[in-house]
Structure formats: C-alpha cells, structure tokens
Amino acid sequence: MIDLHTHTVFSDGVLIPTELARRAEICGYTIIGIADHVDASNIDFVIPRLVRVSEILNRVNRIKMIPCAELTHIPPSQISALAKEARELGAQIVIVHGETIAEPVAPGTNRAALSAEIDILAHPGLITKEEALIAADVGICLEITARKGHSLTNGHVARLAKEAGAKLILSSDAHAPEDLMTDEWGKQVVLGAGLTGDDFKEMQVTAEALVLRIP
C-alpha cells in the first residue's frame, strides 16, 4: 500500500511521525506520505521537521516515509506562492485541501490549485467537468479518499475524472491509527466510488510514479 496523505501531531493527527510510520508498516504499507496541514503560520515549522524525521527513519525502516504538505484553507490567490514555498522547504509531494462539501473551503480553491505547482488535489468535492479536464491536462492527481465526510463525493470525483482522463489516487487522509488502510479496505473504498479492482491497481501505480519522480 502506498498512501501519500496522512497526518500527525504536527497538525490535527494523534500520532508522532515515528509511531504513525510503524503502525502503517504493520498494516502493510510500503510508502507513507505525511502531509500535515500547513498555511502561512506554520509552513516553515512543520515541513523541515517532517524532512528531518523522514531522513532519520528512512535509514533504518523498511517503510519509506515521504515529507509532504497539505495546503489547507488557503485563500485561492495565495495557493501558488505557498505551494512553491512548501517545495523549497523540502515537501516532496504538495497537496491542496480541495473544496470538500464537509468543510467551508473558499470557492475557487480547486481552480487555483490546478494552476499551481502541486501534485494532488485532495477530496475536491463537487469538482466541475472543466476542472477535471484541467487536472488531466496538467497531470495533477484527483483524490479518492477514505476519510469520512470527504468521501461523500467520491463517486462524483471518480466519474468526472474518468470522463476527463484525469489521474486518480487513493488516500486514507489518516488522522489516527484506525484510519490507516489495508489493501482490502482500500479496494472497498474504490469499489464504493463506482470504480473497479483494476482502478485500485492503477491508483497504486500512479502513487508509485509520483514517488519515483521525486529527485
């Protein structure tokens, strides 16, 4: 299992990175991305710490940890600049917290994210056909999520992504150990979105491709 969207105590998760990685390894993960929520107030605090712990743990662990970042509730006009800053600070995968129906994310977030140098648009809710086509054109992945609330629009996201030819990626958006996915649970989430077992496999290939292009 490759899961590039999880959280620790550096934002609203309950585990420190070391424990999260260990629990993920027991669940069968081979790669875990820690993408704590960041904005202008904490981006320069969180990302360097995730970079440091990843470097230390990757020397000894079988599971590979990747320092990521989830730009969360960022005003749309600031997304591009903060995405660039996250990358400069060492985030190897940059995610934007999309316009989920479960939270009052600013309108225009999805569109602004798709114009920025990011990798994944997380739980993009009622994404439009035009936005899905942009995602396909620029190669930004649209997330199918196991996170309750956010997952309510998985079917809509899956359908438009398929129609547009946009890449899909599966993430747990884990905040606690019980949120981590097994392969079987991940497959069930994908099937529940109206997709297939082959789509599940393709999402894992997509995640692996994101990891492989990290310098």
What DSSP string runs through 150-190? Answer: GGGGHHHHHHHHHHHT--EEEE--BSSGGGPPPHHHHHHHH
Instruction: Write down the pLDDT at residue 102.
Output: 97
Q: Which residue has the tokens 């360097």?
A: 48
- Give the mean pLDDT of 179-198: 97
Residue 38 main-chain phi, psi, to 5 deg: -135, 155
Task: Report the C-alpha gap between 140 and 80 in whole angstroms.
Answer: 14
What is the 8-class DSSP label of residue 42? T
What is the 8-class DSSP label of residue 121? E
pLDDT band at 91 (very low <50, low <70, confident <90, very high): very high
181 has pLDDT over 90:
yes
pLDDT band at 215 (very low <50, low <70, confident <90, very high): confident
Instruction: Write down the pLDDT at residue 59.
Output: 97
Check if the beta carbon of residue 50 is closer than 8 Å to that of residue 34.
yes
Which distant-in-sequence residues (6+ apart) come within 8 Å of 81 by Cβ? none
Residue 33 CB-half CA count within 13 A: 27
pLDDT band at 107 (very low <50, low <70, confident <90, very high): very high
Provide the residue type at 197 as one letter.
G
Instruction: Write down the pLDDT at residue 155.
Output: 98
159 has pLDDT over 90:
yes
Rounded to whole angstroms, the maximal C-alpha distance in the chain is: 45
| Percent above pLDDT 70 for the chain | 100
Mean pLDDT (the chain) is: 98
Q: What structural domains and CATH numbers belong to the chain?
A: 2-212 (3.20.20.140)
pLDDT, tens only, 131-140? 999 999 999 9
Residue 181 main-chain phi, psi, to 5 deg: -100, 145
Secondary structure class of 68 (helix, strand, coil): strand
Helix, strand, coil percentages (3-state) for the chain, rounded to 5, are 45, 15, 35
Instruction: Write down the pLDDT at residue 150.
Output: 98
pLDDT band at 37 (very low <50, low <70, confident <90, very high): very high
pLDDT, tens only, 139-149? 999 999 999 99
Secondary structure class of 144 (helix, strand, coil): strand
Six-digit token string for 174 = 């884990």
Instruction: Write down the pLDDT at residue 101.
Output: 97
